Amino acid sequence: MKPYLLTVIIFFLLSPGGRAQQVIPLYRVVPNAIETATVTEKWDTISTGRILVRSVTAPTLTAYFPAKEKATGAAVVICPGGGYSYLVINQEGSDVAEAFARNGVAAFVLKYRLPNEKIMVDKTIGPLQDAQQAIKIVREKAAAWHIDPARIGIIGFSAGGHLASTASTHFNDRIIDNPNNTSLRPDFSILVYPVISFTDPLAHKGSRRALLGKDTAQAAKVDFYSNEKQVTATTPPTFLLHSSDDKVVPVANSIAYYQALLAAGVKAEMHIYSAGGHGYGLNNKTNTDHWFERCLNWMRANEWIK
């Protein structure tokens, strides 16, 4: 892989609203990487308006900073979903980041590597490496970015929710270079129709197959990535959102994680809609409720937004 400068080279893109955003490479040299010219990043817009990113080899953070007069000091890393096969980079990424920024929260869309044995020595750890590196960067740059290093959370949708819950339960499994011993633990997590478990019948088989491969007979690895089994008293407080009629990722995933959090004495809040299905991003069109406002209220109640 080519070296990617972490903070020296910063590119600027324009969001639909016209505000410049920083695109920050995650690494100088991407770890766990296999150099190949046969895999190249692809962006596609499908008929529903979703922008899908595939074959990520150069992971990045795109930063959305709030206006100075609105900034609260809180921050979130955003993990879009896509079954560990692609990233819904707008509806579960940039749209969410802009909503946070409007409410004073610095937001960072994580374009993470998707499991692929052609570009990774160990594809099972690639996404988690990128999530840990994202937390590390935001925490280490907190002062420069006017962020409170004790109010940095993570949010994930669908398989991105699996990655966010993995980062929230495996932060002591340090699989990146961390010479400053920076804490990789998110201070809070927000999980939206998340994949949580790799055990049947809860598992979203596509996400499990993409991350672990076709051979899922390795019980230890399946358990390792079944995050309801990895919750401890140090797991971050969590906001969960799901719909009862989700046919892609069963609502029992969120329920299992919620129950594990309660059993460990971790603060948790869960909202389950009767309808909505899967993959609606910020807008569950089956009702007039706005879950994002509930999430902001939860953040205020716990003083991550002050």
Note the pTM of the prediction, 2 decimals: 0.93
Q: Where are the beta strands (DSSP E) in 193-260?
A: 238-243
Q: What pLDDT, on a 0 to 100 scale, did the predictor assign at position 265?
A: 98
User: What mean pLDDT is reported for the chain?
Assistant: 92
Q: Does residue 131 surpass a pLDDT of 80?
A: yes
Q: Could you tell me which residues come within 8 angstroms of residue 238 by beta carbon, excluding any fewer than 6 positions away?
A: 168, 188, 189, 190, 191, 257, 258, 261, 266, 267, 268, 269
Q: How do residues 2-37 score in pLDDT, each as one tens digit? A: 333 333 333 344 444 434 589 999 999 999 999 999
Homologous superfamily assigned to 39-301? Alpha/Beta hydrolase fold, catalytic domain (3.40.50.1820)
